[in-house]
Every structure is written in structure tokens, then in C-alpha cells.
Amino acid sequence: MKAIIIITIIFLSALTGLQAQEKKNAISGRIGLSSGITYQHMVDEFRGYKGMMSFRDGGIQITALIENYRPLYLKFTDKMYYYTGMGAHIGFTRWPPKRGLYPNPFRTYNGSGHFAPVIGLDAIVGIEYRLDRIPLTFSLDAKPFFELFGQTIFRLALFDIGLAVKIHF
């Protein structure tokens, strides 16, 4: 009987330890100019890395970001955070043949339109609301970027605003 009680105590203490661990990974879906899915890994409480696969301009872009998180001190809640970060992206775009303002020597033409690689730098700033009881976070962010090549040789997009829902695990 004593062995069963000891095993039960050890098992229950192990379960409590599992609940106390912080969830460091998250998967999210983002809706905006660059809509897509993201994977995030938090290094510590205030710093994380995010990988993003987004779909924009008929193509796919892969983005890597480094983000810094800070609490937003509000009177009505302590679950709001703001974050800033920077990173880079690479991918490709496609568009119909008659689109494009400036000639670009790096694009090719196939039967369905133009195709060109893109490479660029990104920034991100946003706010998020973290739920306690369930592993869910809601966020609103702005992710301005500039890129080289693509439809034009240089593109600057300041208003890539998006909404995201994250599931932590």
C-alpha cells in the first residue's frame, strides 16, 4: 500500500511540473498582404525566432524574423505584449504579362505570365493578447518590407498589416 501511495505522489508531482513548464513553440495563421503560416520558437521570455511561409503576388516567400517582446502595462490587463523585430525573406512572384511598370532583366516569361525571384528585408511591430487558460494568442502586426527583383527591381511595402492567431505547444 505504501508503494502505491509513493508512486501516486511521484506521478502527481510529475504532472504538476509539466503544467508549470512554459510553452516555447507556436504555430499561427496570418491574414494580411503576406498571408500564410508561421512557426515560432521562444528563446526566453522576451526573445524569439519566427519562420514564416507567406503567399503573396502569386508566389511564395519564406521569411525569417528575430523578435523582441515586452509587456504592455495597461490598467485593465497584464496579458498584452508588444513586439518588434527584423529579418529577411526570399521567394518568387508571378503576374500576368501586361503588368509591371519597369523592365526587369531578372524575370522570365512562361505561358501564364511573368515569373521572378525576390529577396528582401523585413521589419515587424505588433501587439498581442495572450490567454492564460488555453494556449492561444491573438495578434495584430505591421510587417513593412522592401524587396529586390520581382515585378519591379525595387519594391517598398509599408502597410503589410496582418491579424494572426497562435496556438502554443
Tell whether 82 is covered by a domain: yes
**pLDDT score recorded for residue 114:** 76
**pLDDT score recorded for residue 8:** 52
Tell whether 5 is covered by a domain: no
Mean pLDDT in residue range 121-143: 96
Look up the CATH number of the domain holding residue 75: 2.40.160.20
Tell whether 3 is covered by a domain: no
Q: pTM of the entire structure?
A: 0.77
Tell whether 145 is covered by a domain: yes
The per-residue pLDDT for range 78-130, each reduced to its tens digit, is 899 999 999 999 999 887 766 555 555 555 555 567 788 999 999 999 999 99
Number of structural domains in the chain:
1
Segments forming the whole domain that contains residue 152: 23-168
- Indicate if the alpha-carbon torsion angle 121, 168, 137, 77 is positive or negative: negative
**pLDDT score recorded for residue 103:** 56
Residue the block writes with cell 496579458? 79
Residue 18 has pLDDT above 50, yes or no: no
Tell whether 107 is covered by a domain: yes
